[in-house]
Structure 1
């Protein structure tokens, strides 16, 4: 009896000590979350060095939060099991087919360089219907607002106004449940991603000189702020969902959920057909990207998503779809990859009229006549014709003297300024193109490395996956700029 009582007291002591440790960790996490919320709420620094320093501070805090959260016993894995295992694939395949989905001429396979994808097992002619996914299999922000999350979504402003965030929280809620209808789908999702949320600052710094870096820093800061917000919400609210989520919601889990939504979401019509809503579409989201045309549609009569072949496919090929006309910067930020042969790629350049310019008012009026903002982002296109009409018009107006401005303000043919064949004074035309030449060369010179140095790095094996992606991104941008410089050089020589 005495020995049994001693063992029981020992167990009670251990349990009490564990409970104290958990409470201590909770307090530490809460303190770091407060710091994170303050740091991530600060306005984004215009100065890049300061923005990077701010990100270092944010990462230092999130690293501590991740360590503390990982130490807690209730920490969940980012995904369950091995997503590429035969058991996981079979369970997912059975689930989608039992619920009305179908895919013809393809098998779910592990494909080198892609993890999972669809491998063609028979000839598939162009425009053939390959994949059908019924609405009931889709996870939507609309559905999140109608199930157990309804009360939380209704009262929370962020969830009310940001359907992509609602979808991420809904995904986590279903993941944390013991039994979820979407369990087989969640199990086959990637364990982690190559979105910028998984980059450290050293990896992000490989983008120095690239306009993509500023976007990446804003994205990572925004998600850190959202995590801190929901952590506090779940720990200070007493509704059933908050109580359920508070012991399971972590920074790692939130980055995973956000990345899942960013990389895989699509839009479908709402139930009443009045608007488009965000959705995760199982099976369809296993298709990887290539150039082409959009070949997916939602069938409102059959209430299903339908995917058609965008080209003829042969056995052994991977079945690809086209994600839409996105630049590599957009693919890098939102999808975690770049596509070297991207026919829709380009480089955004910001130009503006200075307030100190004596002719600022007239330049602005003429730009407004052409529906161009006095400060605008212009797209340098990849390919043989990189300069579009809006940029050309801006350059000419930017470099006009007062007499030229007055002439075009009074003209009813101001829109001609968009065209390369527009009749202009030779000196103005040369001045405009020379200005663009100098600006493009300046942008190219901001990068720390040359294209050749980047190519050498990419050919080697010393880069990890994130650095390789960042170096590839900046190399692509430099090629676009270099090609545009060559185009402008040739135009000036004419």
Structure 2
């Protein structure tokens, strides 16, 4: 069972299970409303232990394969309670059909999506070649990999929150904290404490949120063309 410190007065997932979070009671300015321990986070070191043969591959590729692996494990996975609440469909441009993509014709986004999706697929194919004797390609499908990749692109935090001394690009998933939707100019502070083994990440609201209102996170400014 995942152990977190989520004040249920303030943290209520929507009934439609689409990932939005609402205040169940008024959240005051400078009030901490959620804390997650590092030990339940999904990190690059954890993923690389599961796939040590993928040493030459990017953090995102290895983490994506780890998410697929854990999703396939079902209730046997330590992360099952978290994975079960993730949306089945993530509407990034990677999942647009031909009709949707038509509306992006002659834009920077269209070219970015095409190039990035092709590069991601090449990494996926190369990784499965390395793992040919370890995993079943019929289970580790491109669709599942792309879903996992999109989970990371839309929800991941920088690993420096766990280890401030870590200088290379790396990512981490913090269960439940990543359920807050992004909204520009939202006043919120991410507070880390402790070390990699015993530390935590806490969300502190920088503004009052009334009961019943949606609670937001702020990942910083993002351009329309940004597509990780």
Deviation at 1:233, TM superposition (A): 3.0
- SS of 1:129's equivalent in the other structure is strand
Normalising by structure 1, we get a TM-score of: 0.42
More helix by share: 1
User: Structure 1 residues 183 and 212, CA, compared in 2 at 3 Å: closer, same or farther?
Assistant: same
- SS of 2:201's equivalent in the other structure is strand
CA deviations on 1:266-294 (whole Å, 9 max, x unpaired) are 11338664205310110001101112245
- SS of 2:165's equivalent in the other structure is coil
Contact map agreement 1:310 1:321 (CA 8 A) in 2: no
What is the alpha-carbon distance in structure 2 between the residues aligned to residue 287 and residue 315 of structure 1?
Answer: 15
What is the alpha-carbon distance in structure 1 between the residues aligned to residue 46 and residue 140 of structure 2?
Answer: 21
Normalising by structure 2, we get a TM-score of: 0.87
What aligned pairs does 1:209-288 form with structure 2 within 5 A after superposition? 209-235=106-132, 238=133, 242=134, 244-269=135-160, 273-275=164-166, 277-288=170-181
User: Structure 1 residues 294 and 210, CA, compared in 2 at 3 Å: closer, same or farther?
Assistant: farther
Contact map agreement 1:141 1:163 (CA 8 A) in 2: yes
The residue that corresponds to 2:213 in the other structure is: 317
The residue that corresponds to 2:37 in the other structure is: 134
What is the alpha-carbon distance in structure 1 between the residues aligned to residue 136 and residue 174 of structure 2?
Answer: 24
The residue that corresponds to 2:189 in the other structure is: 295
Contact map agreement 1:294 1:323 (CA 8 A) in 2: no
Contact map agreement 1:297 1:305 (CA 8 A) in 2: yes
Aligned residues: 221
The residue that corresponds to 1:10 in the other structure is: none
Deviation at 1:198, TM superposition (A): 0.6
What aligned pairs does 1:390-405 form with structure 2 within 5 A after superposition? none
Deviation at 1:177, TM superposition (A): 2.3
Find the partner of 1:149 among 51, 60, 77. Answer: 51
Deviation at 1:318, TM superposition (A): 0.7
What is the alpha-carbon distance in structure 2 between the residues aligned to residue 164 and residue 199 of structure 1?
Answer: 21
Contact map agreement 1:110 1:117 (CA 8 A) in 2: no
* Gaps in structure 2 of 5+ consecutive residues: none
Find the partner of 2:100 among 171, 192, 203. Answer: 203
The residue that corresponds to 1:304 in the other structure is: 200
Deviation at 1:185, TM superposition (A): 0.8
Runs of 4 or more above 6 Å deviation = none
What aligned pairs does 1:99-138 form with structure 2 within 5 A after superposition? 99-104=3-8, 105-110=10-15, 115-138=18-41
The residue that corresponds to 1:193 in the other structure is: 90
- SS of 2:171's equivalent in the other structure is strand
Contact map agreement 2:43 2:173 (CA 8 A) in 1: yes
User: Structure 1 residues 297 and 153, CA, compared in 2 at 3 Å: closer, same or farther?
Assistant: farther
What is the alpha-carbon distance in structure 1 between the residues aligned to residue 179 and residue 148 of structure 2?
Answer: 16
